[in-house]
Structure 1
Amino acid sequence: MPHPLDAAAVRAWCGLALEALGRERARIDAINVYPVADGDTGTNLYLTVESAARAVEAAFEGHASADTTPCLADAIGAMAHGALIGARGNSGTILAQLLRGMTEVLAADEPGHGCPPATLSRALRRAAAATYEAVAHPVEGTVLTVATAAADAAERDAGTAPDTATVARAAHDGARTALRATPGQLAVLGRAGVVDAGGCGLVALLGALADALSGEVTAAPVTVRADAPLPEAAGAATAADGCPATEHAHAPGPAFEVIYLLEAGDAEVTRLRARLDGLGDSLVVVGGDGLWHVHVHVDDAGAAVEAGIEAGRPYRIRITHFDGAGGVREAAPAMAARAVVVVVSGEGLAVLCEEAGARTVSVRPGEPPASGELVQAIRQAHAREVMLLPNDPELRHTAAAAAEAARTEGVRVALIPTRSAVQGIAALAVHETDRSFDEDAVAMTSAAGATRYAELAVAERQAWTMAGVCQAGDVLGLIDGDVAVIGGDLTWTALTVLDRMLSAGGEMVTLVLGAHAPEGLADDLERHVRERFLAVDTVVYEGGRYAPPLLIGVE
């Protein structure tokens, strides 16, 4: 039976889209000839949707504690935001903008009894327009064309459609028809005898939406071959899966792909677009409300990053070098024997871990990394053996999936079950590459397990906790993940938490202060430990921006 377009449908859409892109990923990668034949469009789209799906799940989990469910605006907004922060490559960046365009309509015009067909049609039209706005120099025969055709087909059926499922199916059919025509619109596709790779991904995404709304899972494969390849493509080699190979289609272009998230205002981003447009090509800038995702191909990667610094604050910077055959390779050192990959929230913590020799995956509160991002960090460590430290109990499944994926690529990965950054610090402190892999994993796991951890946070709303009812603005002291203390003052709460933790004994206290911790807090806590607990040492680190107000570790 048809399902209304609501938060549950968005959740189902994410799941079905991941399944569809998972099936099609290799085929889409194989036909990736535009704008660069780097063979990763399917993978980039999959990782982008994976990030979007994680954000939607987080939205549902956030409402579960209050025994409610998110509304359509919350779910589609989470999906768009997750895609924005996790967007990969040119195709993933455009997809993030497409979802943002849909959100602008669906979140602003959410009805009380389900989304009418006309609203979905308008959302698809806004999505198509948004993709053109994001690309500096739009080219027909690409995902932009396919998105427009989907919106056209949706509009034709919206007036008579009985439900949104019918509109979604019409959009999918329109997109499939447009995709088959792309080789005749873009010469490089015609020469290779393939359809547009980004358009393939969008067809899979729209098919998943139609399935989620209709309740009928079709799982139909996406067409990747051109209906009538041009003569130049007749002798093209084929990949192992029967898709045309793409190496021959590569043309000289910029040497680097530069991607980063950027915190900046609208005016600064307008100037940045003009600056980057002069530096390279394939420029796509998406986002809004102070957070943007920037993608560009350039010869001078440093200049592209410097332009971002002038515009605002760039982070999660990724620079990829294109090789001569049209593929990509990361600028990397020689293969190392063993490396450590650490997930950290806080700029100071990231510096601390990097100084200890670890590769960091920096995240912000509420923006957990997708498993694909962890896999990429493992790859970029360029080591035969990797110790993976998630530093968050909520990342255990994500980290396990990343570890398993890396193992299939021949990397030996040990997942160290760190639940907090202070446990990660303790594990890093005992890491030794001279030991055997198993001995090192056991030592790091033991050090993490011997470290009790606590975190101070500020309550955002009234809620029931294990320590009683808290009010918005209360300071919460969490010990080993559970609320143990509720206070009105951060210093008092921190002292109380310290006393409870040290009552069971301890030899070392680790304090990690966030950027907004009260001045003098570290001195007060150090003095308290020195006066009340003999022979207990204290070490203090600056967590920096995005770190919690205070982290405490007791070993």
Structure 2
Amino acid sequence: MPQTLDAVAVRTWCSLALTALGRDREEIDAINVYPVADGDTGTNLYLTVESAAQAVEAVFAAHDAVADGIPPLSDVVQAMAHGALIGARGNSGTILAQLLRGMAEVMVVGGGPAHALRRAAESARRAVAHPVEGTVLTVASAAADAAHAADGDCAAVVRGAYAAARTALDATPGQLEVLGRAGVVDAGGRGLVTVLGALMEAVTGDAPAAVAKSAPPHPAVDVCHPEAAHADGPAYEVIYLLEADDTAVDRLRARLDGLGDSLVVVGGDGLWNVHVHVDDAGAAVEAGVEAGRPYRIRITHFDAAQPPAREQVQRAVVAVVPGEGLAGLCAEAGATTVLARPGEPPASGELVEAIRRAHAREVVLLPNDADLRHTAAAAAEQARTAGVRVALIPTRAAVQGIAALAVHEADRRFDEDVVAMTAAAGATRYGEVAVAERESWTMAGICQADDVLGLIEGDVAVIGEDVTDVAETVLDRMLAAGGELVTLVLAADAPPGLADRLEAHVRDGHLAVDTVVYQGGDQSARLLIGVE
């Protein structure tokens, strides 16, 4: 073990923290009663750390060509902080992102872990509009104080920080009335103890002793119905990333503080993550527009944050879709959907949450993207540990998912249904038409920015200037091998009249082939094509 926080140790820390939060996620969710009893603190922390870990892995992957393959520590910790910032979820995840950012600021300039933990705790408190004791902030401060007092090497510092965090966590029910009434420790603080335990293990090699599981909250706080614990509070949680300068963010903080509570604004250097609970979600977003450019906006109604208890169904389908149009189509067919926004693929935690929302004993998972293969496999494995039977069909495109969903029959045996859906997906060739963002090498030659690309089975087959012309060429090449049905999924920014022209092209050149058209909404490709 390195006994220090070098690049490899940080990478190991992220990996261990993700694994530990995956193990503890449901327990942490169950004790979440503050600031809103919406039962998602563990999930939010998991998604935040998953984003940080993915960013760290990307840095290591980019350095594979280097002799030892190990990037500088500064690059790794900056990636960790940035990944956590852009992936932060909920109140707890946003605070954790700021804790990691504070640590990174010190480690980039060569500071040790004690100083890093001190900066982390201080910056997190500054990010919260109205800090409350008995929360994750208290646990972070205790860890920082112990780290600063430790007289020794890095290993002694992280051991001291972890031990102090556990002690501080045990004291939280006596510091915050709602925790005392419910008989639980603070969920955010519990998650931070898990993260610090992973840090200790990464540095020392010593796995932390198991934290005693918290009993479910007393009936005084009903975690299944967030409005019961938050009846007098705001109705919505609003989260978004924001590109803005420091002065604009100062004004934004003041405005949002007047609109609601649980305000946390973290980040810096022009990029911020904003979290607030409000009654007027539109006003919170408008405040962001006035301050800069908000995006990745998420609005959750607390009354709807947890669905009412219902009987578990036998089987469900969970599908990843690239746009709102297909989300509606798949939902009408009975599937639970996960939206993959352009440039924002879903994390495994989001897929696990969708499997949970499906509330079924058996789930068929359709990732609909070749790049999501490993993410979907990890989500399926985690869901299986919770007792759900999950079958992962390795669909590589949304049109394959549509074909699989079309033959889904919940009444037949699970294995038979999976075989039929897999066969339908496998019999569907897929293509797309997109616009190049930059110059690059492709299977069809060099493309320039703004060139129109026609892809077949993931490879660029056509480079052109006009979306319709390229689409017709792709269709002809795909239909050269035969086909009975063409599926077209149009993006919101597809050229007017594209569907009519392509339908006519198929009708004129391939008489026995039918065409079906769907509106995909805001998706990265201008057109998705399926041929069955």
- SS of structure 1 residue aligned to 2:471: helix
**Cα distance in 2 between the residues matched to 1:511 and 1:283:** 44
User: Are 2:132 and 1:93 aligned?
Assistant: no
User: Are 2:194 and 1:204 aligned?
Assistant: yes
Per the TM alignment, residue 434 of structure 1 is displaced from its structure 2 partner at its CA by 5.1
1:129 to 95, 98, 122: 122
User: Are 2:213 and 1:219 aligned?
Assistant: no
**Cα distance in 1 between the residues matched to 2:84 and 2:34:** 21
Asked if structure 2 preserves the Cα contact closer than 8 Å seen for 1:276 and 1:304, the reply is no
Asked if structure 2 preserves the Cα contact closer than 8 Å seen for 1:332 and 1:380, the reply is no
User: Are 2:275 and 1:294 aligned?
Assistant: yes
Over 3 Å counting, the alpha-carbon distance change for 1:249 and 1:270 in structure 2 is farther
The equivalent residue for 2:12 is 12
Asked if structure 2 preserves the Cα contact closer than 8 Å seen for 1:477 and 1:493, the reply is yes
Question: TM-score normalized by structure 1?
Answer: 0.75
Per the TM alignment, residue 452 of structure 1 is displaced from its structure 2 partner at its CA by 0.7
Query: In structure 1, what residue type is equivalent to 2:128?
Result: V
User: Can you list the C-alpha shifts for 1:381-437, whole angstroms capped at 9, x where unaligned?
Assistant: 334443322111222333234334444545444433321111122223333445554
Asked if structure 2 preserves the Cα contact closer than 8 Å seen for 1:346 and 1:543, the reply is yes
Identity %: 64
Query: In structure 2, what residue type is equivalent to 1:418?
Result: T
Per the TM alignment, residue 442 of structure 1 is displaced from its structure 2 partner at its CA by 3.0
**Cα distance in 2 between the residues matched to 1:495 and 1:8:** 50
> Any unmatched runs of 5+ in structure 1?
225-240, 323-327
Asked if structure 2 preserves the Cα contact closer than 8 Å seen for 1:371 and 1:402, the reply is yes
Over 3 Å counting, the alpha-carbon distance change for 1:431 and 1:194 in structure 2 is closer
Asked if structure 2 preserves the Cα contact closer than 8 Å seen for 1:286 and 1:293, the reply is yes
Per the TM alignment, residue 15 of structure 1 is displaced from its structure 2 partner at its CA by 0.9
2:484 to 493, 507, 524: 507
User: Are 2:205 and 1:246 aligned?
Assistant: no
* Mapping of residues 5-154 of structure 1, within 5 Å: 5=5, 7-22=7-22, 24-25=24-25, 28=28, 34-35=34-35, 41-58=41-58, 60-61=60-61, 72=73, 75-84=76-85, 86-103=87-104, 105=105, 110=108, 116-118=110-112, 123-154=116-147
**Cα distance in 2 between the residues matched to 1:175 and 1:354:** 44
**Cα distance in 2 between the residues matched to 1:382 and 1:272:** 38
Over 3 Å counting, the alpha-carbon distance change for 1:151 and 1:329 in structure 2 is same
Over 3 Å counting, the alpha-carbon distance change for 1:276 and 1:7 in structure 2 is same
Query: In structure 1, what residue type is equivalent to 2:96?
Result: L
Per the TM alignment, residue 444 of structure 1 is displaced from its structure 2 partner at its CA by 2.4
Over 3 Å counting, the alpha-carbon distance change for 1:406 and 1:205 in structure 2 is closer
- SS of structure 2 residue aligned to 1:551: strand
The equivalent residue for 2:225 is none
The equivalent residue for 1:231 is none
Question: TM-score normalized by structure 2?
Answer: 0.78
Over 3 Å counting, the alpha-carbon distance change for 1:133 and 1:58 in structure 2 is same
1:538 to 506, 510, 515: 515
Over 3 Å counting, the alpha-carbon distance change for 1:474 and 1:208 in structure 2 is farther
* Mapping of residues 484-495 of structure 1, within 5 Å: 484-487=461-464, 490-495=467-472
Asked if structure 1 preserves the Cα contact closer than 8 Å seen for 2:91 and 2:275, the reply is no
**Cα distance in 2 between the residues matched to 1:332 and 1:319:** 17
**Cα distance in 2 between the residues matched to 1:63 and 1:469:** 25
Over 3 Å counting, the alpha-carbon distance change for 1:383 and 1:195 in structure 2 is closer
How many aligned residue pairs are there? Answer: 514
Over 3 Å counting, the alpha-carbon distance change for 1:469 and 1:174 in structure 2 is farther
Superposed CA RMSD in Å reads 4.2
Over 3 Å counting, the alpha-carbon distance change for 1:259 and 1:179 in structure 2 is same
User: Can you list the C-alpha shifts for 1:179-223, whole angstroms capped at 9, x where unaligned?
Assistant: 4554554455567776544223223323323443x3x22112266
Per the TM alignment, residue 343 of structure 1 is displaced from its structure 2 partner at its CA by 0.8
The equivalent residue for 2:292 is none
**Cα distance in 1 between the residues matched to 2:74 and 2:324:** 31
> Any unmatched runs of 5+ in structure 2?
223-227, 290-294
Query: In structure 2, what residue type is equivalent to 1:503?
Result: A
- SS of structure 2 residue aligned to 1:137: coil
